A and B are shown apart, each in its own frame.
Chain A
Amino acid sequence: SQTIHQWPATLVQPVGSPLSLECTVEGTSNPNLYWYRQAAGRGLQLLFYSVGIGQISSEVPQNLSASRPQDRQFILSSKKLLLSDSGFYLCAWGGDKVLTEAFFGQGTRLTVV
């Protein structure tokens, strides 16, 4: 069966520091991969999605970036964090090609101080 791993679970970082959140999927090949952010009291905002290695689509312009160095690995990064980057970050995967459902990791709570 497919599983998705996301780490770390919690992270406290100072303003201006770099960020790297990692997500890996097991039990499937060529998944669509997604990064969502959930700000306090708000819904989920799609940040990036990837349909294949090296293919990244950005939905929201910001100081975050994403990379997909391997088929089942998706990384969210920042060179310099802002206070507004605080939130709950969720990685998700969907089936190959057309998305018919998505499965989520356990999330990372990022607090920028």
Chain B
Amino acid sequence: AQTVTQSQPEMSVQEAETVTLSCTYDTSESNYYLFWYKQPPSRQMILVIRQEAYKQQNATENRFSVNFQKAAKSFSLKISDSQLGDTAMYFCALTDSGYALNFGKGTSLLVTP
């Protein structure tokens, strides 16, 4: 069975600083996808970034990048130049079945002025 673990329930960072959110996972499959989703106070789930397991290169999307360590089954999200609008719950998710996403419990990120 696949599992996704986010060990940081809450984090805070000052505006313009860099913060890294941690995620570890477990799967017996060799081909899978990993995701980071953002859920702001509006509760809308927004896809931040996606990583395909068979790609060695870490995915990046503007200020968001991941550190994908396949052997360690680690998938951390780095947010550079943090902005107040980055305040949200961040969920790490995995799909290896091809049918559904399995989510971690989330990390609440607060960006302070």
Give chain A's interface residues, CB within 8 Å of chain B.
32, 34, 36, 42-44, 46, 49, 51, 57, 59, 88, 90, 92, 97-104, 106-107, 109
Contact = CB atoms under 8 A, between A and B. Distances in A.
- The 6 A-B pairs of least Cβ separation, nearest first, read A104-B45, A43-B105, A98-B98, A44-B103, A43-B103, A107-B43
Given A44-B91, A90-B45, A107-B44, A51 B101 contact: no
A101 B35 contact: yes
B45 A43 contact: no
A103 B47 contact: yes
Given A43-B91, A43-B106, A44-B91, A99 B101 contact: yes
26 contacts: A34-B101, A42-B105, A42-B106, A43-B91, A43-B105, A43-B106, A44-B91, A44-B103, A46-B102, A49-B100, A51-B99, A88-B43, A90-B45, A92-B45, A99-B95, A99-B99, A100-B95, A101-B35, A101-B47, A102-B35, A104-B44, A106-B43, A106-B44, A107-B43, A107-B45, A109-B43
Given A43-B103, A44-B91, A99 B43 contact: no
A28 B46 CA distance: 19
- The number of chain B residues touching the other chain, given as a range, is 20 to 34
Interface of B: 33, 35, 37, 42-47, 50, 52, 91, 95, 97-106
Contacts of B103: 36, 43-44
B33 A100 contact: yes
Contact of B33 (A43, A92, A97, A101): A101
A36 B43 CA distance: 13
Contact of B99 (A44, A49, A101, A104): A49
Given A104-B45, A107-B44, A46 B100 contact: yes
Contacts of A90: 45
